[in-house]
């Protein structure tokens, strides 16, 4: 179960699109579950579904239904889940808090090194958007619960594959 937090008004939409495209074969084989939180940026989801063939059809969309988001996160603690689940909430509080709920049911998170660098779950750190975010990636890698900042698509996909194929990496995080 991979939680993808797409914040920053979708500034990294292309990166996330490449990651999703890379993971779609594993989703289809029921080897990976994607939890995609686009926060309060519905246009990011729309752009991704326009660029990634089959994404809209494969995804269960939990859009602006807070009780449904809470229910999903609660059920996912004890039940098998599959496929792709997309989350969007117009309300900023719900948009952000959805990540707090979904964090509890993921095996690792893919995010930029913002304040999410300090969430207590293994993390694949993408390239930062702002210079101030560098320290989030540095600190999480120092603590050992996240990767270094992966600043190219090649590094991101290489680390993602390692995290999926080498259980020792996630176990050590």
Cβ neighbours, 10 Å, residue 8: 17
Range 48-73 average pLDDT? 95
Residue 139, both tokens: 């600190």
Confidence of residue 10 (pLDDT cuts 50, 70, 90): low
**How many angstroms from the chain centroid is the CA of residue 8?**
13
What is the mean pLDDT of the segment spanning 80-97?
Answer: 95
What tens digit of pLDDT does each residue of 89-102 get? 999 999 999 999 99
Q: What's the CA gap between 173 and 167, in Å, rounded?
A: 10
Q: What is the pLDDT of residue 121?
A: 93
| Contact predicate 146/140, CB 8 Å | yes
Strand order in the sheet with 108-111: 59-63, 84-88, 34-37, 2-5, 108-111, 123-125, 146-149
Rg of the chain over Cα atoms, rounded to whole angstroms, equals 15
pLDDT score recorded for residue 136: 80
Average pLDDT value for the chain: 91
Tell me the per-residue pLDDT of 114-167, one tens digit each, with 9 for 90 and over. Answer: 777 788 899 999 987 777 777 788 888 888 899 989 999 999 999 999 999 998
């Amino acid at each position: 179960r991979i939680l993808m937090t797409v914040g920053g008004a979708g500034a990294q939409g292309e990166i996330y699109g490449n990651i999703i495209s890379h993971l779609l074969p594993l989703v289809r084989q029921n080897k990976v579950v994607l939890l995609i939180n686009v926060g309060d940026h519905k246009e990011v989801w729309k752009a991704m579904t326009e660029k990634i063939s089959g994404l809209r059809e494969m995804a269960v969309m939990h859009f602006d239904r807070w009780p449904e988001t809470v229910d999903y996160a609660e059920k996912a603690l004890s039940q098998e889940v599959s496929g792709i689940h997309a989350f969007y909430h117009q309300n900023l509080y719900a948009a952000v808090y959805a990540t707090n709920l979904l964090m509890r049911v993921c095996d690792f998170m893919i995010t930029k090194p913002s304040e999410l660098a300090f969430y207590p779950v293994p993390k694949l750190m993408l390239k930062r958007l702002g210079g101030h975010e560098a320290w989030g990636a540095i600190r999480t890698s120092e603590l050992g619960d996240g990767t270094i900042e992966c600043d190219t698509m090649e590094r991101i996909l290489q680390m993602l594959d390692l995290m999926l194929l080498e259980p020792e990496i996630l176990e050590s995080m």
